Amino acid sequence: MKEWWVQVGLLGVPLLAVYLHIPPPQPSPPLRSWRASGTFFTYKDQNIFYRDSGGAVGSSDVVILLHGFPTSSYDWSKIWEGLTQRFHRVIALDFLGFGFSDKPRPHRYSIFEQASVVEGLARHLGLQHHRINLLAHDYGDTVAQELLHRFFPVLKTLFFHPLPKNSLSKLPFLPGLEQFSGPTRNPRRRNSGTSLAAPSAGVSVSVLQYINQRKQHRDRWVGALVSSSVPLHLIYGPLDPVNPHPEFLQHYKKVLPMSTVSVLDDHISHYPQLEDPMGFLNSYLNFINSF
């Protein structure tokens, strides 16, 4: 009789072949509508999905929305209309490997590459002379931190030129800044909100390398926040299992005392823009309108 592991292997090979050829699930009607309202640009031969909506008359402000893991730009759907009433342009993208964007594999995904994708989109849309506000969540927080680190010389001419450094974009953050949490960090990650994301079948496991990258480049990315003159704001749900209350909030305020904070209702968790869209939107607009 053959060894049991040989039998398992013989059975596993055809099952794996079937799995790899299963087509991704079809998007729901809301997701199909979301995709139809956007388009694609090419970054190094990869198709990147983005949505770009014109909004408020008389405003020149632009906001770029950076989604989290493991979801997509659809995370911003519940506040999209509200943002268009305040900003001249509202822009969101699906990072490489997420949502409707290409998911190459094998591929060495990195936060550095995702930041370059955002820069590429800004160039594609001709935003060199516009004021840019970054609104980031979770995975997108770290991309935003890398963009801050590149502030000079790259971002000064790409996003913000010719504005002086002390009048540049406002950068609010949603939870997901695990690199601040130190020993109080909850290592278990809850993937709430996944069902709202665009299909992610075929995403390479290497997307998860961002967790190791956060540890490896902590000084670089936390340092970008600590040394930045860009106004910062945190919108926080106290029930967030990724950044537990009150330890995370206490540590955040200690590391970034210059940042302002909005704390939402006690039942709000890791996806406040979906769980409490009006509370989140009001907190964000109050921050933006305070300048």
What's the gap between Cα 204 and its chain centre?
18
228-249 mean pLDDT: 91
Domain-wise residue ranges, the chain? 34-161+196-289
- Residues recorded for the chain: 291
User: What whole-number distance in Å separates Cα of residue 173 and Cα of residue 171?
Assistant: 7
User: What whole-number distance in Å separates Cα of residue 103 and Cα of residue 125?
Assistant: 22
Q: If you ran DSSP here, which 8-state letter would residue 206 be given?
A: G
Q: Nearest to residue 61, comparing CAs of 95, 91, 34?
A: 91
User: What whole-number distance in Å separates Cα of residue 213 and Cα of residue 202?
Assistant: 22
Q: What is the model's pLDDT at position 88?
A: 92
Q: What is the model's pLDDT at position 163?
A: 30
pLDDT tens by residue, 198-212: 334 444 447 888 989
Q: Which CATH class is domain 34-161+196-289?
A: alpha beta
User: What whole-number distance in Å separates Cα of residue 262 and Cα of residue 284?
Assistant: 8
Which stretch, 19-23, 51-55, 105-109, 160-164, has highest mean pLDDT?
A: 51-55
User: What whole-number distance in Å separates Cα of residue 284 and Cα of residue 43?
Assistant: 30
Q: What is the model's pLDDT at position 285?
A: 95
Residue 83 has pLDDT above 50, yes or no: yes
Residue 5 has pLDDT above 90, yes or no: no
Compare 187 and 142 and report the one with higher pLDDT. 142
Residue 236 has pLDDT above 90, yes or no: yes
pLDDT tens by residue, 9-61: 666 667 666 666 777 778 899 999 999 999 999 999 999 999 999 988 888 88
Helix H or strand E segment including 209:
helix 209-216
CB 92 within 8 A of CB 76: yes
